[in-house]
Structures are given as structure tokens and as C-alpha cells.
Structure 1
């Protein structure tokens, strides 16, 4: 196991400790063993600094490269909360209206019924859209991506693109954030990747995160745990060029990107994910820079839309719980990677775990320890 100091920034009163406490090492080891996780990166933050940043296991079992806080992972759906944050900057400056029909910005989002889904409903997963399995919505890193507009138009042309009436129960969908990304492009006049970079990543100091692997930056290899006999099936399910070589019980994946930056395209490290949580713990402000108003940042984490499997706010969600106002989060999972980002506003803490494992794992015991620990 390895732990590393977090990157120092001028407003950080202290770097994270250079050594991992024994209780933390044991808790992570237990989680990794039971979840069969090859490599893991972890950060704990408050609004001012990184309290802890560490790496455990291997980012690439084939080479033995260790996981670290600077290791790049695919964020998958953790991207959505960054997209939501960017969208809310456009709401604040009057270029997007939450109660405006989404079709006002992107005409082919018009629903067949009289009731039209709004931008706000895209943000809260209450637009009534379907959620087709995006298993093949990826492409090898060396290939050009398909046009997102073509992908979204194709999905919206299906007979049941809108499976439910807008404004009803929240139902998680990637399509809503593809649509939100196209709405951002329509009003900003630039690619959604450029707007997210300009509006959120750059001002938050997230220098190790973007929409492509950075040359020279260590990156985790995604792994699917499956018996060797399953390799032919996995190679058929994944787009050509994505499945890589086997390492023991794991099939490795070659570098790839998600088709659709706004719903799942970020690539970056846990240290930057921690900075993003600091932005929201700071109610829209980080390192002296205000990205959102405090009122807007707080409004995003109001969980007021019941749903399945999550209750939703604006970007943030959580599984139904009796603990009102306790935490909000976003998960990011897909082929090769499984991540969780959680915000505890009342405690002033944020936690991110990023792994190169396809399958879920029980992170709740670890998070319970992290939220009750005494941090220097």
C-alpha cells in the first residue's frame, strides 16, 4: 500500500499526512479484499484542504504500477455533477432557464405529448426519459469519437424515448445529461467539453482532469473480473479494440473514452475530485474564486425528487434514507471502473474513492470510519 501527500495549493493550510494510519490501512484492505479490487485511490477533504490522500493496490497489475492520488481513472457518471455545476453557472447568468422547455434550446428534444420536459427536469432526472444500457457507448482512445448529436438524435427518434410523463418520479438516465450537454453547447456557443473546462475545471484548479488521458500522467488500467471462459463473450459485448489482455482473474481493458462527454466523459484523479468537493463544501467558492453563488450551490443538494433507485436533487442524489440532510453523492461506474463521490455538508467533509474494478463494493464501513475520525 502507498500513500502520498496531496498536491499543495496556496490556500491549503496543510498537506495530507505522508503515512497512512493503521486503522485506515486495515479498513481499506478489508474493503479491497472483499470487493476484489486491484487498485484504489482515496481522498478526504474539508472546504479548505485535503485531509488525506492515498493510493492502495495496483493501478496496473500487469506492470505492478501502484495506485496513487495522481492516478487517472475514468470518472464515468461522476461527470454528471460537474456538468450540473456548469449548467447552473449558465442559469445564474440568465442563459439557461430551469423552467424553460429543453426543446427551446435543442429542438429534437421535443416530447410527443403536450407536457414538455424542462431544463430543470433534465438536471433532476424527472424529464421522463428512457435509460438504454450504454455498454457500447465507448470507443478506443486512439479513435475519433462519434458525434454526440448523432447519438442523441438516434436515441430520441426511438418510439419510447420518453417512457414517462415529465415531472413524475425521478428515474436516473444518461440520456438526460446527453441532452443537457447539447443544451449547454447551444447557449454557450462552444463544445460542452470546452465549457466545462472554462466554467468549472480551470477555476477550481482541477489541472489533472479533462476529457482525455494526459501524456506522461499515470493512469489506471480498467479491469473486469470474470473467468477466462467469459473472454469471448466480453470481447463481443465491448466495442472492437477495448478488450485487452488477461491478468490472472481479470480481463484488462485498453484505454478508451465514453461517447458523450456530458454524462460520463471525464478522465482524472482523485485529488481533483477532492477539489471539486471542496468547491461544493465551500458553497460554490474555492481558493478565493467564486464559481457558483452560495444560494445556488446549496440548492443543488436539496434532495426533493423521490425516485428509483435514488432520490435526486440538482445533480446530486442519494439512496432513500431516513437521515434527512445527512449526505449527498454521485457514483461513477462502468466497464473497468467503479467510483463514489460523497459530500457531508453538515460535517463539512467530502470523500472520494476511485477504483479500477468493474464490480461494486461495500464502502459504507470505510466511510463511517472516515467521517468519525479526528483529522489533524
Structure 2
């Protein structure tokens, strides 16, 4: 039996210490990576950035750089809460697999079997953003697995195309299958199980927990004159699967340990979640269930970015074969990099490139 208390305590101790040397990673190497991250942060004009690196279930680096609130001079730390934006999709993917294990959800059930999908699909094609819905074929069978795998545009299942609006709707089948609000499911099945005390969901009908709201990193953007200015907080959304989570790198490290330790889902479910989708010709597509799946420099990576334009950005990157993880949360869009909606392109991220270089395969 997995000793959840012992592993959780090890993660908490590593976070509290800020860094603990990994078995095969020298302290100087870890510190050199931290220095490089801060240099990249400054080059990207990110006011505040929080960082965690986890290896073999142990936090080897947890630190903040810059300011969570520039005007008040509040430093960013590993306990600073941020809006993690689309990194939420990794949590939603784990929740879906957990519900499948419990026999409460079928990923291969057609979406038309869920109340409201047909109306949503028709309305989206008629009125939604053309970039996401102009080639959606509502008259063809689309499964929940394809929605969670970003494989619904064009002929369902045949190609990868990032569609966050459709992914957000995936909360509805989970709610209908369980009879519970999506945010309650996340809180009970994920946050509580993983010991995530610094995380919460928020949406139009669910205000952010006061203790997190008081510490939330303030968002910023660079204006047309090149000045750093405070942004408005992102507008309220529905109780969807694509976003809506506020968390810290310390808590995301707990999620990471719980995921790798088997507390949340089984090894088989985790492998299925991280298995690249394939089209009818057998071509691998760069997305599993809520996660990008990509090989970079011969190393298997699973990852996700998060972005609120002009406000927040995030990167959660795992090398599952090496039990190595990078978590970055920022209070600007400075972690973003150029990539099209039909590609992954992790290698273009300077932060990911630095991580892969500083932590070579052992």
C-alpha cells in the first residue's frame, strides 16, 4: 500500500526547504537552472514567476522570482496563487480517468447522448468563433474521448486541433454522470485526495476562496508603449473543464506527486491518459486525454501550457520515463510561445529548452 502521508510529507518538506538536492542532480546544477529561469523571466518581462522542479517524487527546487504585486512590492514565492488557465486541463483529464476507474464515466459514449450537446454543437457552428467551429461536423458521432483529446474538428478522430471551448464543455458529461457540480468533483476527487490545500476552483457562481484571493498574484501586461501595467482580472467563466483553477507551484507539486504515486489514478489509467491519439491511418496525434504528448530530443514529454491573454501564463512539463517535472506559473503572458492550433512545438519554449538542457537524461 502506498504511504500517502509519508510521500505527502516529503513533498511538503521539499517545498518548505525551497530546494533539496536530488540523488543524481548536483545542487550547483539546480541553482544554475534557477538563475537561468530568472534571466529568462526578466527577458520576457514577467513581473512575478514561481517555479518548482520535482524529481522522483521529491521537490528539488521551489522558488519565486520578482513580484506577485509590483505596486505593493509583494515577492512571488512557491506559495503564491496564480490562475493556472489551461493547465487545468491536466487536472480535468485525471478526473475523467478517475471517474472511468470508478465505473461512472464512459469516454467512448457519443456526446449526443448527453443533454445539451446537440444544441451546443449547432449553436457553436452557427455563432461560435470560426477558428474553432467552422469545420465541426455535428451530424457525425463525436465521443467524449475525442473532445478530451482535441480530435473533434473536421472528421472526428482524424486530426489534432486545439479547441478549448469544446474541451470546456466536457465538464457536462462528468456532471451528468455523477449528478454533482464539476467544481465539487474536482475539490473532492483531486484536491482533497492529493492534499492540495492551496488550490480552489472559481467560476461565475463560485467566488474564489478568500484566503487565496487575498494572496493572488496580480496580472500584468506590456502596453503599446512598452510599459508594464496592471491588467484586469480575467472575466468570470462557467463551471467548465478547460480552466477555472487557482493554485500554487507548491500545490501543483503535490498534485504531481499524487499522480505519479498512484493516489489519483492507476498506472494503467495514467498510461492511457498519456497515450497519443491516433487517426484511422494509425498516425500519432500530439494529445492524449487532457495532456499534450510529444517526443523532444528523443525524450518522452507530457505537458500543458496555460494562458490568459495579457494576464497569466503557465507551463506544466513532465518527463514520465525520468520521473522529472517542471512547474512554472507567471502573472503575465510571458511564458507563451508561438505555435499553431494544430501543433505542439514544446521545443520552441525557451523555458522548456533550458529545463531539458539543464536536466539531461540520466
TM-score under structure 1 length normalisation: 0.73
- Does 2:305 align with 1:331? yes
Give 5+ residue unaligned stretches, structure 2: 1-6, 20-26, 122-136, 203-207, 280-284, 338-349
Conserved? CA contact 2:11–2:254, under 8 Å: no
Which structure carries more helix by proportion?
Answer: 2
- Does 2:222 align with 1:225? yes
Q: CA deviation at 1:116?
A: 1.1
Distance in 2 separating the partners of 1:268 and 1:12 = 16
Conserved? CA contact 1:91–1:97, under 8 Å: yes
In structure 2, the partner of 1:292 is 265
- Does 2:193 align with 1:215? no
The SS at the match of 1:330 is strand
Residues 218-259 of structure 1: CA distance to partner in whole angstroms, max 9, x if unpaired?
Answer: 22111111135xxxxxxxxxxxxxxxxxxx812212444541
In structure 1, the partner of 2:318 is 343
In structure 2, the partner of 1:372 is 360
C-alpha distance 322-41 of structure 1, shift in aligned 2 (>3 A): closer
| Number of matched pairs | 303
Conserved? CA contact 2:11–2:253, under 8 Å: no
Conserved? CA contact 1:201–1:207, under 8 Å: yes
In structure 1, the partner of 2:134 is none
C-alpha distance 249-322 of structure 1, shift in aligned 2 (>3 A): closer
Residues 32-60 of structure 1: CA distance to partner in whole angstroms, max 9, x if unpaired?
Answer: 12211111000011343222110001111
In structure 2, the partner of 1:179 is 169
Q: CA deviation at 1:291?
A: 2.0
Q: CA deviation at 1:323?
A: 4.6
Distance in 1 separating the partners of 2:290 and 2:357 = 26
Distance in 1 separating the partners of 2:354 and 2:158 = 35
Residues 130-182 of structure 1: CA distance to partner in whole angstroms, max 9, x if unpaired?
Answer: xxxxxxxxxxxxxxxxxxxxxxxxxxxxxxxxxx2211101111122222101
Distance in 2 separating the partners of 1:113 and 1:42 = 42
C-alpha distance 196-78 of structure 1, shift in aligned 2 (>3 A): same
Distance in 1 separating the partners of 2:276 and 2:297 = 12
TM-score under structure 2 length normalisation: 0.76
The SS at the match of 1:353 is strand
Distance in 1 separating the partners of 2:245 and 2:355 = 24
- What's the Cα RMSD here? 2.6
Give 5+ residue unaligned stretches, structure 1: 1-7, 129-163, 229-247
C-alpha distance 113-174 of structure 1, shift in aligned 2 (>3 A): closer
In structure 2, the partner of 1:79 is 88
Conserved? CA contact 1:73–1:269, under 8 Å: yes
2:148 corresponds to which of 123, 132, 139 = 123
- Structure-to-structure mapping, 1:75-114, within 5 angstroms: 75-109=84-118, 114=139
C-alpha distance 65-166 of structure 1, shift in aligned 2 (>3 A): same
Residues 119-138 of structure 1: CA distance to partner in whole angstroms, max 9, x if unpaired?
Answer: 1101101122xxxxxxxxxx
- Structure-to-structure mapping, 1:349-368, within 5 angstroms: 349-359=324-334, 360=336, 362-368=350-356
1:274 corresponds to which of 232, 253, 257 = 253
- Does 2:158 align with 1:168? yes
C-alpha distance 56-96 of structure 1, shift in aligned 2 (>3 A): same
